[in-house]
Every structure is written in structure tokens, then in C-alpha cells.
Structure 1
Amino acid sequence: MQEDTFLLSVLAKFPNVEKTKVRFSTVAVNDLPFLKLCRLLAENGRVIEIDAETQYAVVAIAASTTSLNEGVAAILLKNKILYIAAYAKEGLIKQHSTEKIIQRLTELVR
């Protein structure tokens, strides 16, 4: 998918992101304006980059509200579909933070 390739190129700008460990997901969103999406991201993480023309954002977000393990996610809103690419560095004990970040973002937009 070209959306996944685009999001991967956005995340590749960050020096610690391992491209092979980036996970992708899509979520159908019927009535979600880009401005509302940006507000949701700002309330739940640290927005790093926004492009209103392309309708993508990059956010640093924790896997849960109590988690100290933070990851980075690139989000693209296109044709009522939210494309998500996320990456979180895992330590010795695998906590599946990337999958939890995708799940958290999915729950935010529903």
C-alpha cells in the first residue's frame, strides 16, 4: 500500500526507529475531521508534527495511560480511513508496546 510506504518514510526520519519493527493498522472512521483527530492526539500524547494539507500527524504516545514506555506513531487520514504506523522500542521484557499503541489509537477514534 502506498499509505504504508508514506507512513514508513515519515517514521524513518526518527533516528531510533527500526523500519522492520514498525506495525501498521487501518481503522474506518465515518465522521472524524482532521482537526478533531489532532485534538485527540494532543490530549493523549505529544504531537511532534502535523501536516494539514496531507492530513497526517506524528505523535509520541504511551502504550497506556499508566505506561512509561512511549512510542511514536504516524497517522494519515484519507478517504474516511485512518492509517496508523507505530513503533516502540522494546526492552529485555517484551511488553508489546507497539500493538498497545495501535489499540489505544484505535479506541481514541471510535
Structure 2
Amino acid sequence: MQTEFWKVIPNIGACEACQAMGEGVHWEKPERPHPNCKCEIISDTIRVHIYKQLQGWRDAVFETFPAGQGVNVTIKSLGPTIGGVYMTADGSDKRSTGHMKPGSSATFRFTKFGKIPLT
């Protein structure tokens, strides 16, 4: 799944071609329809937010989703005792938080440039 897309934001009083380009999203960067086009073309990415809470020893959560080429994973220790998390991406990239004190957090970035999708 491609995660980057573009939107065209037509200026007030824009021509019909620009107004038509402003509907929906474009999966490839669109070309301006005429040389004097002043419309804004912005890029954005699809974001996936998953919230799961692990309750104890050997508790596990598995998520599979298309994520393009990079995934940020943030882990927060809710306490009341020291905890930790072991993660894998695509079964090969392995990470661990180590021991985490209550209230602490750690963020990891998994990337697989050239290998889409990262699951």
C-alpha cells in the first residue's frame, strides 16, 4: 500500500481545471494544468494509530498492516513495576526496550527502504 499522496488546494477564483484537481487525492505528484497556476500542491502520508495495552508477563499483541517504508513505534511503561517490550518487524528486524521504569517511554523506527510493504 502506498502511503504518500498529494492534494491540490485551488486558490479562490481558480479555473475549472484547478478546481477539478482539488477533488480527492493524487497518488502521484500532479503537474500544474497551466503555466500560471498558483494553486498549492501539498504532500502527506497515511498514518495508522494503534493503541494496545499489555497486562503482564508473556502478554502479546500482534498487528499486521501496510505501512509503506517506515513505522514509528512508541512504547510507554504505565507501571506500577519495571517492564519491557520485545518487537520484530517483518520477522527480521528485532528491537527491545530493555527494562523501563514506570512513566518512561521509548520510540523505535523500523524502515525497509525498497521493500514495500513493511508489515
Bin the TM-score by the shorter chain: under 0.3
- Higher relative contact order by CA 8 Å / sep ≥ 6: 1 or 2? 1
TM-score norm. by structure 2 comes to 0.26
Q: Which has the larger radius of gyration?
A: 2
TM-score norm. by structure 1 comes to 0.28
In terms of fraction of residues, the more helix-rich structure is 1
